Amino acid sequence: MDRRPTIADVAKLAGVSRSAVSFALNGRPGISEDTRERILAAARELGWQPSRPAQALSRGRAGALGLVLSREPGAIGADAFFPAFIAGVESVLAERGDALVLQVTGPGDEEAVYRRLASDRRVDGVLLTDLRVDDPRPALTTELGLPAVVVGDADGAHGLCAVSLDDRPAFAAAVHRLADLGHRRIAHVAGPQEFRHARRRRQSWEQAMREAGLPPGPVLPGGFTAAGGASATRELLGLGPDRPTAVVYANDLSATAGLAVAQQRGLAVPGDLSVVGYDDTPLAAYTHPPLASARADAQGWGAAAARALDEVIDRGRADDVELAPAELRPRASIGPAPA
């Protein structure tokens, strides 16, 4: 008995037909309560679970969602967002025993990956993250008839359902707080501007600056990386007497690196320079000084995205979802502007 049990074994053991087993398993009517229990008992006894490939084939439904990560292999570990996001997706899928299929790819063959995913029938839909400006993927998935949901705001979603989370309140809170503390020159170290979320964070910062009646300070590219954050900070600190007294970074990684650069230069944080990150990584509360940051519920985001995608798959469409906005976690890296 090397072979795993099939539905036929269960049927034989329970003394019914294969279809009866299928009906019982899927809670269909037309099976008496007695029989249903006998069948389920038989299944339990044999340790039988329906074969997913077989189910997928006959139902025309893979029972899996796809997530394509297209990043440089090196940068892949830098992001605390994805693990939490994925955990959220899983929390929804796990209920139904569905799975998440992950594909990691370079930016180059992204399109091919989606095409394969679409004709492969391995997933029922995909989550689109890290949307870029002029991202071809929304149109592509539509063309391919592959259900998709955009993780991020509706701009550029091309009519797809978008599950978004507003980061403006967090940037507004940070900038206003800094303004209240007397800062007038507040810089931004931005993420790669080909990404919509990076661009949006930058815009959120700009808008907050305008609201606070401050001239938008210098914006430097930080690439979401530690190296980028460090070199942007070096440049900012080299600006002379008019250098910014506060920097709002696009993420914690570049912010933490910036923090270190400032300290390496002998500057006190927040005495000489205030610093704000974004993401509220596990480390943020434990840097020296603790890094003010913004907390977005990545896990909730994943769960919401998975639910939305489910709905798109089932009903063809779903309403956009707006999650609770990111919240500023003020910490000691923010202080009064230097005199």
Partner DNA sequence: CCTCGGCACTAAACCGCTTCAGTTGCATCC
Partner DNA sequence: GGATGCAACTGAAGCGGTTTAGTGCCGAGG
- Which residues would be at the binding site for DNA (CB under 7 A)? 3-8, 15-23, 25-26, 29-32, 34-36, 48-51, 54-55, 57-60
Within 272-331, the residues that bind a second copy by CB under 8 A are 281-283, 285-290, 298-299
Which CB atom, from 58 or from 264, has the smaller least distance to DNA?
58
Which CB atom, from 172 or from 297, has the smaller least distance to a second copy?
297
Axis crossing angle, helix 18-25 with helix 7-14, rounded to the nearest 10: 100
- Closest approach, Cβ 21 to a second copy, in A, equals 15
Which CB atom, from 72 or from 180, has the smaller least distance to a second copy?
72
- 3-class secondary structure, 83: helix
Bridge partners, 327 (sequence order): 295
Q: Pick the closest to residue 291 from 209, 229, 237, 221 (CA basis).
A: 229
Within 68-87, the residues that bind a second copy by CB under 8 A are 69, 71, 73, 75-84, 86-87
Determine the size of the site formed for a second copy (CB under 8 A). Answer: 71
Measured CA to CA, the distance from residue 115 to residue 101 in angstroms comes to 15
Measured CA to CA, the distance from residue 118 to residue 125 in angstroms comes to 8
Instruction: Spell out, one character per residue from 134 to 173, where the chain touches a second copy: x when CB under 8 A holds, - when not.
Output: -----------x----------------------------
Which CB atom, from 34 or from 134, has the smaller least distance to DNA?
34
Residue with tokens 């933490």: 256
Measured CA to CA, the distance from residue 284 to residue 261 in angstroms comes to 16
- Closest approach, Cβ 28 to DNA, in A, equals 7
Which CB atom, from 30 or from 238, has the smaller least distance to a second copy?
238
- The amino acid present at 50, given as its one-letter code, is P
According to DSSP, residue 242 is labeled: G
Within 95-124, the residues that bind a second copy by CB under 8 A are 97, 99-105, 115-116, 119-122
Q: Give 27's contacts (C-beta < 8 A, 6+ positions apart).
A: none
Q: Give 282's contacts (C-beta < 8 A, 6+ positions apart).
A: 80
30 makes contact, choosing from a second copy, DNA, none, with CB < 5 to 8 Å by partner type, with DNA
- The amino acid present at 339, given as its one-letter code, is A
Q: Pick the closest to residue 205 from 186, 192, 222 (CA basis).
A: 186
Residue with tokens 């049927």: 11
Measured CA to CA, the distance from residue 308 to residue 310 in angstroms comes to 5
The yes or no reply on residue 225 touching a second copy (CB under 8 A) is yes
Which CB atom, from 71 or from 176, has the smaller least distance to a second copy?
71
78 makes contact, choosing from a second copy, DNA, none, with CB < 5 to 8 Å by partner type, with a second copy
Measured CA to CA, the distance from residue 126 to residue 148 in angstroms comes to 5
- Closest approach, Cβ 122 to DNA, in A, equals 12
Among the candidate windows 23-31, 161-169, 227-235, 308-316, which touches a second copy by CB under 8 A? Answer: 227-235
105 makes contact, choosing from DNA, a second copy, none, with CB < 5 to 8 Å by partner type, with a second copy
Which CB atom, from 184 or from 295, has the smaller least distance to a second copy?
295
281 makes contact, choosing from a second copy, DNA, none, with CB < 5 to 8 Å by partner type, with a second copy
- Closest approach, Cβ 90 to DNA, in A, equals 22
According to DSSP, residue 251 is labeled: S
Which token pair is 247? 């920097």
According to DSSP, residue 182 is labeled: T
Which CB atom, from 7 or from 208, has the smaller least distance to a second copy?
7
